[in-house]
Amino acid sequence: MSTILSYPFMVRALIGALLTGLIAPTIGIYIVQKRLSLLGDGLGHVAIAGVGLALLTGVTPLPVAITVAILGAVLIEYLRQHQRASGDVGLAILFYGGLAGGVFMSGLAGAGGLSQYLFGSITTISDADLMMIVVLALCVLVVSIGLADRLFAVASDEEYARTLGLPIRFYNYLTVVLAAVAISLSMRTVGLLLVSALMVVPIAAGRNLVTGFWLTMVVGMGIGVVAATGGVLGSYYWNAPPGALIVLIAIGVFIVSLPVGAALTRRRRAGRALPVAPEVVASPHEQENEAGHPHVHGGPDCHHPTVRHGDHLDYVHDGHRHAVHGDHYDEH
């Protein structure tokens, strides 16, 4: 480890990875909440056009990519808010146009280095890049955490947030602009083609493991940091693009979170005392069938009140509600 840290480029790469791992899930939770998981992917494509433009004109890519991605984000949000019938097709054209334009312009520039921006590259972060990443990442963190209550209220229940008098349109634009900045900052670490995964997958894994918005956000940030720094370290040893490894680690954590989360849920359920009154168990059933019932619910001699519950009816019965499921009754 100490040898790795003796290389200045690795120190810069790890700081970049740490910040990317923190901010991508922090914005990702709002994007997931709005069910716009693919938005990050599209904004990454738009940022590629910015990188191509920078390579063609010979300026520093990061600021150009950020500017182009923000413009793209504002346009996307405008289309979404105005719900044009052609909006969906418009988004697709914007995304593919960004990718194609970026590849074409970097080809014209004769620079072969586009893939560094698509899948990340640990050796290419300059001091100037790092300074910009640190400053902007801190801005993104302060805004997305400082306004978390409001951003979450707007992302999860926009109509109610409107009745609170919150400036909905402003917060919607703010969310996509924050996403555009976070995505552009991630281009040297995880890369513009894979950054969306770092926004979405840690949040999905966090949801499996914990309950609630805040805990999910914190756990998602932790998973993001582990994946991003782990991917950068691994790419040093295996000489692979860091982006691929970062995403594979995040997906690995997600897969592990599935059984772990299920076990945690079972424990939480079991730990909670079920409010089953003893008389429910002892209620007299004269002629019980195999399922413990004198009649079949829903049959002609069933007089229990019914409650619609999703795709089936629950039967209110001795103070509890249950439904037929195969050969037994599920408690609801």
Partner 1 sequence: MTGVGTEPPVLRLRDVSVTLGGLPIVRGVSADIRAGEFVALLGANGSGKTTLLRAVLRLVQHQRGSIELFGVPQEAFRDWGRIGYVPQQVDPGLLTATVREVVAAGRLPLRRPFVPPRRGDRQAVERAIGEVGLEEKAGTQLAHLSGGQRRRTLIARALATDPELLVMDEPLAGVDVATQQSLADLLRTLTTSRQLTVLVVLHEHGPFADLVRRSLLLQDGRLVFDGDGFDPGLPHEFHHPPEHISSHNDWVPAYPSGPEPEQGDA
Q: If binding is defined by CB under 8 A, does position 301 make contact with partner 1?
A: no
**CB 57 to partner 1: min, Å:** 38
Q: If binding is defined by CB under 8 A, does position 160 make contact with partner 1?
A: yes
C-beta of 9 vs 213, nearer to partner 1? 213
Q: Which of residues 127-156 bind partner 1 (CB under 8 A)?
A: 146-147, 149-150, 152-153, 155-156
C-beta of 211 vs 289, nearer to partner 1? 211
Binding mask 242-271 for partner 1 (x = CB under 8 A): ------------------------------
Stretch that binds partner 1, among 27-35, 54-62, 107-115, 254-262 (CB under 8 A): 27-35
Stretch that binds partner 1, among 107-115, 129-137, 160-168, 253-261 (CB under 8 A): 160-168
Residue 229 burial (C-beta neighbours within 10 Å; 0-12, 13-18, 19+): buried
Q: If binding is defined by CB under 8 A, does position 166 make contact with partner 1?
A: yes
Helix/strand/coil (H/E/C) assignment for every residue in the chain: CHHHHCCHHHHHHHHHHHHHHHHHHHHHHHHHHCCCCCHHHHHHHHHHHHHHHHHHHCCCHHHHHHHHHHHHHHHHHHHHHHCCCCHHHHHHHHHHHHHHHHHHHHHHHCCCCHHHHHHCCCCCCCHHHHHHHHHHHHHHHHHHHHCHHHHHHHHHCHHHHHHCCCCHHHHHHHHHHHHHHHHHHHHHCCCCCCHHHHHHHHHHHHHHHCCCHHHHHHHHHHHHHHHHHHHHHHHHHHCCCHHHHHHHHHHHHHHHHHHHHHHHHHHHHHHCCCCCCHHHHCCCCCCCCCCCCCCCCCCCCCCCCEEEECCEEEEEECCEEEEEECCEEEEC
Binding mask 185-214 for partner 1 (x = CB under 8 A): ----------------------x---xxxx
Stretch that binds partner 1, among 65-73, 222-230, 235-243, 302-310 (CB under 8 A): 302-310
Q: If binding is defined by CB under 8 A, does position 311 make contact with partner 1?
A: no
C-beta of 9 vs 214, nearer to partner 1? 214
C-beta of 137 vs 244, nearer to partner 1? 137
Q: If binding is defined by CB under 8 A, does position 298 make contact with partner 1?
A: no
Q: Would you state the structure tokens that stand for residue 200, as one six-digit string?
A: 């979405």
C-beta of 143 vs 193, nearer to partner 1? 143
C-beta of 163 vs 239, nearer to partner 1? 163
> CA 124 to CA 13: how far, in whole Å?
8
User: Can you tell me which of 83, 163, 239, 287 binds partner 1, judged by CB under 8 A?
Assistant: 163
Q: If binding is defined by CB under 8 A, does position 33 make contact with partner 1?
A: yes
Residues near partner 1 (CB under 8 A): 33-35, 146-147, 149-150, 152-153, 155-157, 159-166, 207, 211-214, 216, 305, 307-309, 316, 332
